[in-house]
């Protein structure tokens, strides 16, 4: 039955539009524990103080869901078919459309409901980058891919332009083989291309230097030391992914809710510099860009402009 249930879950995930689905046994992440502790002790979390919370839960999903048995890891493609005007301040591709948290969580809930309809009383929770879950570690254990030098999960023949999500459930399933091979080899393109030198050895990111952190998470002023290194990114950054050879396999998604507004694609620098709060609200309605708010985006644009 475990094999039958696992196959049902994977078929349902595909039907709901997920790129891939793998399953791992719920357990304590023994290998990741010292790495997470060292990352926090070095202050690499930057202004993301929330990363210091729930240390035990980050390492053991059984503390999040009673009697958890399985972690169902899923990936969802967000690579766009159209891109911003090249003469523009830039937004990370993942934020072109509606906020992925809401879009994917609704699909996860549908998947959990299907599991309950098919199998019976299965208890579980849905997670999309908004709880203390080490999603890349679980995706790696579930065989979805490997962590690249830029710390993002890479899937062979698919690249890395996808979201990760998890269902933690109290159902025992057949488990996939973890990804053990690092297919990055000697390639260092992401490290070499990062203008702020945020990518450290051993797949470690110093968030204090990461453009995504500086433009989204950081609420204080962006340090002047990065004045000439931002490469026109006003929300997030895709540099390390854009240069990754594995992303030559990326194919456009077919999720209508991730389609960008025309203005986002066509605006030039002057348009962004003159954007009003009303226009901001229209372009980024239901968007992840609202995390930085109008004031945050204006701060980022001003920083980029005053070089």
- In this model, does residue 84 exceed pLDDT 90? yes
3-state secondary structure of 265: helix
Q: Residue 177's pLDDT is what?
A: 95
Per-residue confidence band for 130, with pLDDT thresholds at 50, 70 and 90: confident
Q: Of 210, 228, 18, nearest to 108 (Cα)?
A: 18
Residue 115's alpha-carbon distances to 26, 163, 197, 262, 277, in angstroms, are 18, 22, 44, 38, 43
Q: Are 168 and 68 in contact (CB under 8 A)?
A: yes
Residue 86's alpha-carbon distances to 46, 231, 233, 266, in angstroms, are 30, 12, 12, 9
Please state the length of the chain.
307
Q: Are 100 and 94 in contact (CB under 8 A)?
A: yes
Mean predicted lDDT score pLDDT of the chain: 96
Among residues 129, 229, 242, 271, the one annotated as catalytic is: 129
Give per-residue pLDDT as tens, 223-266. 999 999 999 999 999 999 999 999 999 999 999 999 999 999 99
Q: Where are the domains of the chain?
A: 2-169, 189-248+261-305
**Cβ neighbours around 175 below 10 Å, total:** 19
Q: 129 an active-site residue?
A: yes
Give per-residue pLDDT as tens, 28-52. 999 999 999 999 999 999 999 889 8
Q: Residue 98's pLDDT is what?
A: 97
Per-residue confidence band for 307, with pLDDT thresholds at 50, 70 and 90: low
């Amino acid at each position: 039955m475990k094999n039958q249930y696992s196959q049902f879950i994977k078929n349902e995930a595909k039907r709901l539009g997920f790129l891939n689905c793998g399953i791992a046994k719920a357990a304590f992440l023994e290998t990741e524990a010292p790495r997470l502790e060292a990352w926090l002790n070095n202050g690499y979390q930057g202004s993301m103080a929330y990363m210091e919370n729930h240390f035990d839960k980050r390492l053991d999903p059984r503390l999040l869901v009673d009697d958890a048995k399985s972690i169902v890891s899923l990936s969802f493609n967000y690579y766009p078919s159209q891109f911003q005007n090249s003469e523009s301040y830039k937004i990370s591709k993942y934020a072109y459309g509606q906020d992925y948290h809401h879009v994917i969580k609704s699909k996860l809930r549908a998947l959990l409901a299907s599991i309950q309809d098919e199998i019976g009383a299965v208890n579980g929770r849905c997670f999309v980058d908004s709880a203390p879950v080490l999603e890349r570690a679980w995706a790696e254990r579930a065989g979805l891919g490997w962590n690249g030098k830029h710390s993002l999960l890479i899937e062979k023949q698919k690249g890395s332009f996808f979201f990760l999500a998890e269902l933690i459930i109290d159902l025992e399933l057949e488990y996939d083989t973890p990804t053990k091979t690092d297919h990055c080899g000697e390639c260092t393109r992401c490290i070499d291309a990062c203008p702020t030198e945020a990518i450290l050895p051993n797949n470690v990111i110093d968030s204090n230097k990461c453009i995504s952190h500086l433009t989204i998470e950081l609420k204080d002023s962006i340090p002047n030391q990065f004045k000439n290194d931002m490469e026109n990114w006003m929300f997030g950054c895709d540099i390390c992914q854009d240069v990754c050879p594995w992303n030559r396999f990326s194919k456009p998604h077919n999720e209508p809710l991730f389609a960008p507004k025309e203005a986002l694609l066509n605006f030039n620098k002057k348009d962004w510099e003159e954007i009003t709060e009303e226009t901001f609200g229209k372009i980024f309605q239901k968007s992840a860009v609202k995390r930085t708010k109008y004031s945050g985006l204006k701060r980022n644009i001003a920083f980029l402009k005053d070089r």
